[in-house]
Structure 1
Amino acid sequence: MKKIVDLPYEKILVLGLAKSGTAAAKLLKQSGKKVRVNDLKAKPTDLAVRQLEEMGVEVVTGGHPISVLDDVDLLVKNPGIPYDNVIVAEAEQRELPIITEIELASRLVDGHLIGITGSNGKTTTTTLIYEMLKNSNQQAKIAGNIGNVATEVAQSLEQNESMVIELSSFQLLGVETFRPDIAVLLNLFESHLDYHQSFENYKRAKSNIFKNQTEHDFIVYNADDEQVVDTVQEAPSIKVPFSITKRCIDGAWCNNTSIYFKEEEIILLSDIVLVGKHNLENILAAVCAAKLNGVTTAAIQDVLKTFTGVKHRLQFVDNRNGRLFYNDSKATNILATSKALAAFEHPIILLAGGLDRGNSFDDLIPHLEKVKAMVVFGETAQKLAKTAHQAGIDTVKFVDNVKHAVQKAYELSSEQDIILLSPACASWDQYATFEERGDMFTEAVHTLE
């Protein structure tokens, strides 16, 4: 078991358990640190709590007493906990350093570290890079916001094995020395402003992905995104652009027929199975990172000819009697659904609805030109129906859930139609997670008669 040997703190509070907090606490304890854990919702009988206590970790549950900060010289914060949390705010007042567990993970990595961030497309790009590395016979593991706890993955890394890590702005806000050899910044849209308070703060958090890089490292960036171009100007690393609109002689680009890396033709666009303009951006970013890490062109081609998408992210599910079904349950906002709609040329039957956060769907109207019918569900069903009618869509059907939506959409469809689950809403009114919602969609498609 690897241990952290270069962390200059001895008495550490881990705030928030979940998977990352539990893993961080165990790693720190095994590394010889004095560790205390505080979690509001955990119970003394929880397995994670009992395991930590058996290791000698002090665990405080059921509240956030300020005393948990006594005799502490570092706070390791769960990324999702906001900075106005009473413990975090008090830690800042005491001028305690605050990090997230990716900082700990990075101190365990001997091989290459490839970090991917952006407002959209992180999971797809991270997965593409990982698959390209593997297909080129490179040893690699995938980690981070994609669901694999970074500290656990880092502990299992072999020497010179690469870690490909998806990074949220929440994670990146808490780094000290974190430094990827290859950083990828995909795009920047206004997002998570309830957490970051302003777009500038959000961009600053994202820029932490390259703040510790050197002139020997690389920052792969979207040359078509003005916010990204502006943000990477301060990067100390080698800038490698990608673009779907112009030739990038120092990076990846495409014309009407092919994708290129610098002067080398990589693959014909017609050979790529992943659909969507936004996914073309993700592909170009992945090509850059893969080539910079020594991946062969043949390995890149093999992946792009077979990769159909990440589960729940514009994932191709099935062709049923000429109708193509796509699961985009991860589309929990209007922007994501807009990008999904732009991916197709054939008529679309859109399945949408979910948690009502109080917003209108007016911004979706310009993107509904190819939608021939909508099937709506959940708390926002009436709002979405109103939006559909404003967009000139005559056929709108109400159903109870995603399972019934699949059946209704199939009844409304014709050959070559796209049946797309892209809800534009969070799932929590009916489902615990967007994954649960997407799984119901997929199961319903496979059981159609």
Structure 2
Amino acid sequence: MKNTEQFIGKKVLVVGLAKSGVAAAGLLHRLGAEVLVNDSKSLEGNEEAIELQTQGIEVIGGGHPSDLLERNFDFIVKNPGIPYSNSLIASAVERKIPIWTEVELAGILSEAPIIAITGSNGKTTTTTLLYHMLNMAKKNPLIAGNIGTVACTVAEKAQANEVIVLEASSFQLAGTESFTPRIAIFTNLYEAHLDYHGSMQEYLDAKLQVARNQTSEEYLIFNADQRLIKEAIESFKSEKIPFSVLGKAREGISADGEWIYWQGEPFIEIKHIKLPGRHNLENILSATAAAILSGCEKTAIENVLSSFTGVRHRMQFVREANSRTIYNDSKATNTLATKSALSSFKMPIVLIAGGLDRGHSFEELRPHMKNVRAVVTIGETAERFAEFAKSCGVTEATLASTMHEAVEKAYACSCEDDVILLSPSCASWDQYESFENRGDQFVEAVMKL
């Protein structure tokens, strides 16, 4: 670790006892800071709180005492999920106490360079692709953030000859001040999390923290097909690497129907890529650009692209069954994600969709339902989605009460060369504890076909 001396004797409040809070509190304590942890939940039977207390860290639970900030903390590390509207955090903002997330600690302490990936969609796929490319090229990657170990925990142990591949959400990035990755990736921007950020501009500002502090010696890989991103980063100092799926471009990385181009020159043929969909092509371009900038050989990149079939529950290839190709896209909890999934295939689709009913419209999917042969619907929105499908001209729409029944019905109404696709367009909590659990049940049912 580097820059450790700056934390000696600092008074730090860690808000939130989730895994990032526990990791940050323990790390700061080991670095010589005076740490207090506060959580809204009762500490009774809380193993995390007990663990911290055995280390000599003070923990206060059951709410946020009004006089807590009178202790004159030097800075606060908050759990990313705690909104700035929280009474304690809002009061700290008024007092101008610096409020970080543990990602800021990772950036300060890491000996290893960091590649940070953010965006509304595609973060996990891009992060995973890049990790595999770096690993194939023997660049000693470490994965951190939303799909890996807490970033500051990875940074504590990382060596200079390694590289941290960090998936960073807007919640995490909003709590950074000096965070400066060697390579930043901004995949795309769509309206999301406005209940947390308050406005689209604040959401964008949080995402821009991934590159705002970069120097001219660092790189920003960004979606050149989105004008909002292009305009927002114009004044940034980093070397900008645009990516585009709209055809061959002279700068950065781009793609048409046949090739991926690097700086305008053919690099990899599209036909060698396993992962389907235009949205995944965006992920592929940004990951490939980062791999090239990290010194990965072309063969390592090609080997990954020719074998990678997707992250679990995100357009994950499951199997072929009697000439039907089956994909698990359980992570598609909104219409935007399902729209991307539907547009990924040219062959007929049997779609399994439905879930928690939040009252949202499915109209955004209408132009993309032309290729859907049949639908099998589940969950609270089963009847509503079936009616929507029929209004789109889908003649076969049936309801299922369980995932196993849905898979059996989907297979029964499919034909050779069809795609059977789970892409629910709804959250999972009406029937399942998580989209992962929903996807696992889908995979289990598919393997029993």
TM value normalised by structure 2 = 0.96
Task: Kindly indicate whether residue 306 of structure 2 is the aligned counterpart of residue 288 of structure 1.
Answer: no
* Aligned counterpart, 1:63: 63
Q: 1:3 to 1:446 in 2, by over 3 A?
A: farther
* Cα distance between partner residues in 2 of 1:196 and 1:208: 14
How far does the alpha carbon of each residue in 1:57-95 deviate from its partner, in whole angstroms, 9 at most, with x for none? 111222222233231221111111111111111111221
* 2:179 is aligned with 1:178: yes
The reply on whether 1:31 has 2:35 as its aligned counterpart is: no
Cα offset, 1:219, TM superposition:
0.6
Note if 1:169 corresponds to 2:170: yes
Q: How many residues align?
A: 448
Distance 1:336 1:9, change over 3 A: farther
State the Cα deviation string for residues 383-439 of structure 1 (Å, max 9, x = none): 212211221112111112323211111111111111111111111122111111111
Partners of 1:426 and 1:217 lie apart in 2 by 38
Q: Secondary structure at the match of 2:295?
A: coil
Contact 2:120 2:188 in 1 (8 A): yes
* Preserved contact between residue 44 and residue 50 of structure 1 (Cα < 8 Å): no
User: Contact (CA 8 Å) 1:261, 1:287: kept in 2 or not?
Assistant: no
CA contact 1:116–1:125 (8 Å) conserved in 2: yes
Alpha-carbon distance in 2 for matches of 1:197, 1:370: 37
Identity of aligned residues (%): 49
Q: Offset at 1:8?
A: 8.1
Query: Is 1:432 paired with 2:433?
Result: yes
Amino acid at match of 1:427: S
CA contact (8 A) 1:355 1:428 kept: yes
TM-aligned CA distance change 1:68 to 1:427, over 3 Å? farther
**1:269-300 Cα deviation digits (max 9, x unpaired):** 11111111111111111111111111111110
Question: Which aligned runs of 4 or more in structure 1 are off by greater than 4 angstroms?
Answer: none
Aligned to 1:6: 6
For 2:198, the equivalent position in structure 1 comes to: 197
Distance 2:399 2:378 in 1: 6
Residue in 2 that maps onto 1:442 = 443
2:319 maps to what in 1? 318
Describe the SS at the equivalent of 1:6. helix
Pair 1:409–1:342, CA change in 2 (3 A)? same
Post-superposition CA distance 1:150-190 (Å, at most 9, x none): 11211221223110101111111000110001111111111
Instruction: Write out aligned runs for 1:79-94 (5 A).
Output: 79-94=80-95
Deviations for 1:327-352, whole angstroms, at most 9, x for unmatched residues?
11111111011000000111111111
Give the residue type in structure 2 aligned to 1:53: Q
Conserved in 2, the CA contact under 8 Å of 1:213 and 1:236? Answer: yes
Deviates more, 1:334-343 or 1:426-435: 426-435
- Structure 1 regions of 5+ residues with no counterpart? none
Post-superposition shift, 1:353? Answer: 1.3
Shift of 1:236: 1.2
Letter of the aligned partner of 1:206 in structure 2?
K
Give the 3-state SS of the residue equivalent to 2:4 in structure 1.
coil
Aligned: 1:400 with 2:420: no
User: Residue in 2 aligned with 1:416?
Assistant: 417
Structure 2 match to 1:279: 280
The 1:420–1:330 alpha-carbon spacing in structure 2 relative to 1, beyond 3 Å, is same
Q: Which residue of 1 aligns with 2:157?
A: 156
**1:4 and 1:433 mapped to 2: Cα distance?**
38
Distance in 1 (alpha carbons) for counterparts of 2:276 and 2:290? 20
Of stretches 174-183 and 138-147 in structure 1, the one that deviates more from structure 2 is 138-147
Aligned CA RMSD, in angstroms, stands at: 1.6
Deviation per residue, 1:115-168 (Å, 9 max, x gap) = 111111011111111111111111110111224211121122122311010111
Do structure 1's residue 75 and structure 2's residue 76 form an aligned pair?
Answer: yes
1:170-319 superposed matches below 5 A:
170-319=171-320
Matched, 1:134 2:135: yes
Gaps of 5+ in 2: none
CA distance in 2, matches of 1:22, 1:375: 43
The alpha-carbon distance between structure 1 residues 2 and 376, as it changes in their structure 2 partners (threshold 3 A), is farther
Does the residue aligned with 1:308 lie in a helix, a strand or coil? coil
Please say if residues 112 and 155 of structure 2, whose CA atoms lie closer than 8 Å, have aligned partners that are also in contact: no
Residue identity in the other structure for 1:66 = S
Change (3 A) 1:375 1:2: farther
Asked if 1 retains the 8 angstrom alpha-carbon contact of 2:2 and 2:110, the reply is: no
Letter in 2 for 1:261: W
- AA aligned opposite 1:257: E
d(CA) in 2 for partners of 1:7, 1:326: 48
Instruction: Give me the whole-angstrom Cα distance separating, in 2, the residues matched to 1:397 and 1:4.
Output: 60
3-state DSSP of counterpart to 1:234: coil
Q: Return the alpha-carbon distance in structure 2 between the equivalents of residues 300 and 75 of structure 1.
A: 41
